[in-house]
Chain A
Amino acid sequence: MSAPPSPPGPGWRPRLRRAIVLRHDPVRDQDLLVMPERIVVLNEEAAAVVRLCDGERTVGDIVTELTGTWPAAPVAADVSGFLVRIRDEGWVG
């Protein structure tokens, strides 16, 4: 689970780690990232990014897709920064 040391390039295809589940919690009406010993409550934007971490899409694909959803936001910088953070946590690889 050691993270690659360099910042990921545009060709990186982030994938949620196998034992980690992204799910909507109907009781709390929130998106959750569920792991063996931890539950993380995601905000809407974070959940939208994680949902696209399928190991198929590149970071570029994810940014393009989300730019349509949030035209006013600096999507590229936000998404890459977020992905690096959750990679360092070991949630995506």
Chain B
Amino acid sequence: MSAVAPPWAMLAELTHSCPLHCSYCSNPVELIARDRELNTGQWVRVMEDAAAIGVVHAHLSGGEPLLRPDLTAIVAAAARAGVYTQLVTSGAGLTPARLAELAAAGLHSVQLSVQDATAAASDRIAGGRWFATKERAAALVREADLPLGLNVVLHRHNLDTVGEIIELGASWGAERVELANTQFYGWAMRNRDRLLPSRDQLRRAEETVRAWRERLAGRMELIWVVPDYFDGVAKPCMGGWGAISLTVAPDGRVLPCPGAYVLPGLAFPDVREHSLRWIWEESAAFNAYRGTAWMSGPCAGCARRDTDFGGCRCQAYALTGDAGRTDPACSLSPDHHLIQAIATGDRPGGDAGPVANRRMPRARSGHGGEGG
């Protein structure tokens, strides 16, 4: 084994197309068009190469991965290579036949995105009438005896109904509900002022989740992904740059994190030009912020540098223009006032201005991101 520890997980963004239009989507604002996507053979090779360098888990995401007609072939390739697959979907396009085919090909589990607890609220966020589709998709997954997880991105407009969202998960038979406070990248960053909750809202939601967690112990797992802007602590983004996970973009570029598209000065290597092993171990992009040697400022001398890796590079860049600075979410960062000003509501824009629901370039509509 080389000096670089192998990756555990791969986020495969199979397409950025999506019929939904969530304003919190973490896909890059420059969505990748369908004619630039990898073909079936290229994805099959990505799965084989990923397994060979140690990837155990593949999250098949997007956009909406069900829009790939060859999804079954991609799942089968992963299964053959011994990679555990989880489909991350909005539910749009999940028919009984499609699910049966995917399960037969070796799909292991399904994570379904839900926007809110009721059809009206959920459809408003998704930018279309999708709630009933999601409910049907959840039932299909349970009937197929696959484990079902729900993934809910939280923000100002649904945090107050987090209790109802949890009940919905229980009634749909989910084994796990992931409550992920919005991370401000991509489309979500563009819509930040409309999505950012108040501190009070967050506190109430957190209490609700705590109470439900006790009530549901042993029956349903609740995961609370903490919000970024409020607690003065930097999160170990992706478990560290190039430490645990890699993201393959629809067009074959490989990134350490799905938020990294916008980082300047990093040429993200392409699976069509380089082996995944070289990309993971040797490429400049994956080594740029790996470990702690790149650090300066407060991180370099900080006791937490091996725990949180200086926080998120994408957030440092988004807020300071320099991806190499300490994450402003950290209270030790000289830029922390930037986050504080935003979190306390001292921000221009406020509720004014339209939400930019994500759209594909040209005629295609779409979405993507960890929302799935």
Contact = CB atoms under 8 A, between A and B. Distances in A.
Interface in A1-50: 1-3, 18-19, 21, 23, 25, 27-28, 32, 34, 36-37, 39
A81 interface: no
B109 A3 contact: no
B55 to A, nearest CB: 9
A27 B145 contact: no
A39 B56 contact: yes
Given A27-B6, A27-B53, A36 B219 contact: no
A37 B176 contact: yes
B84 A34 contact: yes
Interface string B53-96: 11011000000000000000000000000101010000000000
Nearest to B84: A34
A19 B86 CA distance: 10
B54 A28 contact: yes
Interface residues of B, number: 25
Contacts of A88: 218
Contact of B146 (A3, A19, A27): A19
B8 A39 contact: yes
A9 B84 CA distance: 33
B6 A2 contact: no
A21 B52 CA distance: 18
Contacts of B178: 37
Interface of B: 1, 6, 8, 52-54, 56-57, 82, 84, 86, 108-109, 111, 145-147, 149, 175-176, 178, 218-220, 223
Contacts, number: 48
Contact of B145 (A1, A18, A39): A18
Interface of A: 1-3, 18-19, 21, 23, 25, 27-28, 32, 34, 36-37, 39, 88, 90
4 nearest A-B residue pairs (beta carbon) = A27-B54, A36-B109, A19-B147, A34-B84
Contacts of A34: 56-57, 84
Given A1-B219, A2-B218, A36 B108 contact: yes
Nearest to A17: B147
A2 B215 CA distance: 12
B175 A1 contact: yes
Contacts of A37: 86, 149, 176, 178, 223
A34 B1 CA distance: 22
A27 B8 CA distance: 11
Contacts of B53: 27
B86 A36 contact: yes
A27 B54 CA distance: 5
